[in-house]
Amino acid sequence: MMKDILYAPWRSDYVTKEKIQGCVFCHISKNAKEDEKLHVLYRDEHCFIVMNRYPYTPGHFMIIPHFHTDALEELDEEIWLHISKLARRCVKMLKEGFGAHGVNLGMNLGEFAGAGIAQHIHLHLVPRWKGDTNFITTIAETRVYSSDFEKIYNRLRTLVPTYIK
């Protein structure tokens, strides 16, 4: 009997890639010279926007403050307002520039709230399209990602100057 095989050679990076020690978001924050390698879309004095390496949908990225904290209530109000302002611009970019029909925004504050990286808060922006929901994630513990990650990163990067600056 032949078994079905899911061939995903691009996932080899996940297994073989050098692991970042400490907080991955602080590493990205401190290494602006590596923005393209780290898939940073934007950065300023308060925060940066980076692609999610394990996205729920094509174009999933996060807005992350440079300030390291796991507690939203500890974040300076000016930084929180800045993140909110960027989120509004990013939603517009995803809808108008990227063609998303909707956008999920969310923060998982703490490990028990579902945060994959619980030690540094971050706001997820997940573009959504009509008919993009299915049960494969639930029943097969697999995500279907129908687009090339690098192409999406480059496309979003070209939209940033129009929508975010």
What is the longest distance spanned by two Cα atoms in the chain?
A: 61
3-state secondary structure of 27: helix
Q: Hey, what are 46's tokens?
A: 């308060």
Residue 122 annotated as catalytic: yes
Indicate the length of the chain as a whole number.
Answer: 165
Per annotation, catalytic residue among 60, 101, 122, 124: 122
Give the residue among 83, 31, 59 at the shortest CA–CA distance from 158.
59
3-state secondary structure of 39: coil
Catalytic residues: 122
